[in-house]
Amino acid sequence: MTTNMQPLNWNDIYRVSEKRRVATQAEMERLREVCGVLPVGYQEFISEFGFGEFDSILVMRPEDVFGQINLLRESLAEWRCMCQDFDQPVMIPEQSVEDGVPLARTDWGDYYFCTPSDPGVLRYIWRGHDSDSNPSVLPLGFLNPFIHREENQEPEELGQENLVFDAFRDVFKYHVHLSGPKISPDAPDTLAILTRNVLDCLGPNKVVEDKEIRITTAYVKRFGAEVDIGFRARESQFYIFAHGDFEEESNFIECLAKLKHDGYAIDVVS
């Protein structure tokens, strides 16, 4: 992991939705009580941005923090046993098995956690618990851009293009497959045309394109959504994947209806 990390400039973070669920004073006190000393920047983060998703890292709501405490502690206990079995160095206090507190997690089960045994420190642990997955300290806590585990097991800081915070409460998710006369998997510019049509319909505030994996991500504040437009070569399918705020679901459905009116055949999978 890079050692010369800089504090996160919160002005660089793009909010998909301004609908925030920030911590109440009572919740803050309860979190402080169970954590002992809150990690650097945590109180400021959940007061400014609240709870939600930060590039596939979920900053957990208090009810989820308390609901997953036992799961985290079981994970830490398993990791300690693995270290002892394979003579690996034990990087976390033994007491954390009893008092570790999860504050954020990834979609694939990695945890960012603190423990009163080591006040004010934020660590993360990978669910895989392999020999390269020693829990690591995030030097600047919540003032540091979070890190992801890459396939080669090396941690990597999030880049500026990933600094997007989704302040969703209730979330809808759609997988949409597109076909019809406007879709030709053999035509090299089909995805580009489809993407332009979808973006024209969405009116996004921010667009990120990844040419390597042929995907465009649009962030749309007006209905609090992140929308991916891409092509799956294995199934030869063009698709839209969206997740957003339930309150704005009808606006997204209207967008799909406009695409259908424009000549796309739409199959809503979920």
Longest dimension (CA), the chain: 63
* pLDDT for the residue numbered 161: 64
The residues, ordered by sequence, that sit 6+ positions from 179 with a Cβ below 8 Å of its Cβ are 237, 238, 264, 265, 267
Tokens of 179: 């076909």
pLDDT by residue, tens only, the chain of 270 residues: 445 677 888 888 888 777 678 889 999 999 999 998 999 999 999 998 899 888 778 899 999 999 999 988 988 888 778 777 776 666 777 888 899 999 998 877 788 999 988 888 898 887 654 545 567 788 888 888 777 766 555 667 776 667 888 876 566 777 888 887 777 777 778 888 889 988 998 899 889 888 877 889 888 887 778 888 988 776 678 888 887 777 778 888 888 888 888 878 777 765
**Closest Cα to residue 237, out of 196, 195, 183?**
183
> What's the sign of the alpha-carbon dihedral 40, 12, 137, 113?
positive
On whether the CB atoms of residues 256 and 201 are closer than 8 A, the answer is no
Whole-angstrom distance, CA of residue 87 vs CA of residue 209: 44
Please list the residues that pair with 225 across neighbouring strands: 220, 244
Other Cβ atoms closer than 10 A to 27: 16
* pLDDT for the residue numbered 3: 52
| Residue type at position 56 | S
* pLDDT for the residue numbered 150: 61
* pLDDT for the residue numbered 131: 45
DSSP conformational letter for 22: P
* pLDDT for the residue numbered 41: 92
DSSP conformational letter for 119: T
Ordered alpha helix ranges (H), 36-175:
42-48, 62-67, 69-85, 96-99
**Closest Cα to residue 59, out of 120, 138, 125, 112?**
112
Q: Residue 21: CA atoms inside 13 Å, Cβ hemisphere, count?
A: 15
Cα distances from 168 to residues 14, 62, 179, 203, in angstroms, run 14, 15, 30, 19
Tokens of 266: 């739409």
DSSP conformational letter for 118: S
pTM attached to this predicted model: 0.69
| Residue type at position 63 | E
